[in-house]
Amino acid sequence: MDIRDIHTPVLLERCAELLGPALQKPGSVFVDGTLGMGGHSEAFLERFPEARLIGLDRDTEALRIAGERLQRFGDRVTLVHTVYDGIVEAVASAGVDKVDGILFDLGVSSLQLDVADRGFAYAQDAPLDMRMDQTAGVTAAEVLATYGEGDLRRIFERYGEEKLAGRYARAIIAARSEAPLERSGQLVDILQAATPAAVLRERHPAKRVFQALRIEVNAELSVLERTIPAALSVLGVGGRIVVLSYQSLEDRLVKRVFADASTSTAPRGLPVELPEHAPKFRLLVRGAELASDEERAANPRATPVRLRAAERIREDA
């Protein structure tokens, strides 16, 4: 099957609209910090023929697929195997000082969700891996085998915002004393057995726990906390950044960094704002934009998305 039949980029038109003014000039460079299967990047390379891409991904399989998809663009494409908090080093290694556009499409990719043996989807029985980069790091199975009850509860509460975190942590500890937890189906069965019937009627008990495990395995929030300031630092004046978040923890972090960057640092009470205190960025959208009803119907993975965007308006001091 053609990859375009199984992968629909989220908010593609809106991303192109927001990044377009920065990518139309000759010699422009944009970074796709979460390249995935290359859907956004392919569209941008087609629409902005003067632009060059630096594509980042920690998933080697995603890089392979995107590389094949983008091969026709030749030397306009540079792909880098890295976690996106390595954006400064990746841009420098490509021989670039400043970039004109940056896109981050956060969370788990279509590739990772749709390939059953990656273990990301609780609806499919598979080995409990959940690593975005399968060449490094601990797996979800190792987390479940080695973390104590308190640590499991902490990650379920913090990263999954799960109200039954304590109950689930105790159930996992009890279950692993009987047999190793190696497959997603085992974990789903444990969670379902530990969930009150009233809650089972409201939601699937595995959704938040799987999200929490994925974030823990890939250190997603700590990486993102380093990434957004680093990304802002490599944007040139007039450069634009768009971030697509899919859960509240990510969106709150992006919101905070953008707010700080777009707020004056002048002490209160100054009659005139000095240039060095002026904001370095301006926000391009009010709050967080949501997908339209039409986009959600056409692409269900756009349902939880929250889009934020900003433009650099002056250099650092």
Q: Do 43 and 78 reside in the same domain of the chain? A: yes
101 backbone dihedrals φ, ψ, rounded to 5°: -150, 145
Residue 204 annotated as lining a ligand binding site: no
- Is residue 284 included in any domain, yes or no? yes
| Residue 240 and residue 94 in one domain | yes
Q: Which of 154, 185, 218 is the last residue of a domain?
A: 218
Residue 262 in domain: yes
Neighbours of 270 (CB within 10 A): 10
Q: Which amino acid is at 166?
A: G
Q: Report the Cα 42 to chain-centroid distance in Å.
A: 18
CATH of the domain at 83: 3.40.50.150
Residue 7 lies in a domain: yes
φ/ψ of 182, rounded to 5, equals -120, -15
Q: Which pLDDT belongs to residue 269?
A: 62
> Is 40 labelled as part of a ligand binding site?
yes
One domain for residues 292 and 232: yes
Same domain, 254 and 171: no
Claim to verify: residue 137 and residue 203 sit in the same structural domain? yes
User: Residue 78 belongs to what domain range?
Assistant: 3-105+221-312
How far apart, in whole angstroms, are the C-alpha atoms of residue 111 and residue 175? 30
For residue 125, give every residue at least 6 positions away whose Cβ sits within 8 Å of its Cβ, in sequence order, or none.
116, 183, 184, 185
Is 57 annotated as ligand-binding? yes
Helix (H) or strand (E) holding 97: none
Question: In whole angstroms, what is the distance from residue 228 CA to residue 244 CA?
Answer: 12
Radius of gyration for the chain, computed over Cα atoms and rounded to the nearest angstrom: 21
Q: What DSSP element (H or E) covers 249? A: helix 248-261
In a domain, 317, yes or no: no
Of 68-72, 105-109, 218-222, give the range with the top mean pLDDT: 68-72
> Does 256 lie in the same domain as 167?
no
Determine the 3-state secondary structure of 101 from DSSP: strand
Instruction: Say if residue 1's pLDDT is above 50.
Output: no
Mean pLDDT lowest among 51-60, 124-133, 246-255, 298-307? 124-133
Shared domain for 39 and 8, answered yes or no, is yes
- For residues 134-158, give the mean pLDDT: 93
In this structure, is residue 80 part of a structural domain? yes
Span 170-190, pLDDT tens digits: 999 999 999 999 999 999 999
**Residue 198 CB-density burial (10 A; 0-12 exposed, 13-18 middle, 19+ buried):** exposed
Distance in angstroms (rounded) separating the CA atoms of residues 240 and 262: 13
Could you give the C-alpha distances from 134 to 59, 60, 112, 170, 258, in angstroms and in order? 7, 8, 11, 29, 31
What pLDDT does 10 receive? 92
**Closest of 148, 124, 128 to residue 139, by C-alpha:** 128
111 occurs within a structural domain: no
* Percentage, residues of the chain above pLDDT 70: 89
d(CA 247, CA 220): 12
**How far apart, in whole angstroms, are the C-alpha atoms of residue 199 and residue 213?**
20
Tell me, yes or no, whether 96 and 176 share the same domain.
Answer: no
Co-location of 12 and 155 in the same domain: no
Q: Which of 135, 143, 10 has its CA nearest to residue 82?
A: 135
- My answer on whether 260 and 166 are in the same domain is no
Top pLDDT among 288 and 3 is at 288
The answer to whether 38 is annotated as binding is yes
Could you tell me the CATH number of the domain that includes residue 134? 1.10.150.170
Q: Is residue 94 located within the same domain as residue 167?
A: no
* DSSP result, 173-192: HHHHTTS---BHHHHHHHHH
Burial of 59 (0-12, 13-18, 19+ CB in 10 A): buried
Q: Specify whether 214 is located in the same domain as 226.
A: no
208 within a domain of the structure (yes/no):
yes
- 225 pLDDT more than 90: yes
Residue 299 lies in a domain: yes
Number of folded domains that form the chain: 2
What is the tens place of the pLDDT at every residue in 98-110?
A: 999 999 999 765 5
Ligand-binding site membership of 84 (annotated) = yes
User: Residue 83 carries which side chain, given as an amino acid letter?
Assistant: V
Which of 218, 247, 275 is the endpoint of a domain? Answer: 218
Tens of pLDDT, residues 245-285:
998 999 999 999 999 999 876 667 666 666 666 889 999 99
Which of 218, 253, 284 is the last residue in one of the domains?
218
Residue 203: which pLDDT band, with cuts at 50, 70 and 90? confident
Confidence of residue 205 (pLDDT cuts 50, 70, 90): confident
For residue 287, CA distances in Å to 209, 232, 254, 260, 284 come to 28, 18, 11, 14, 9
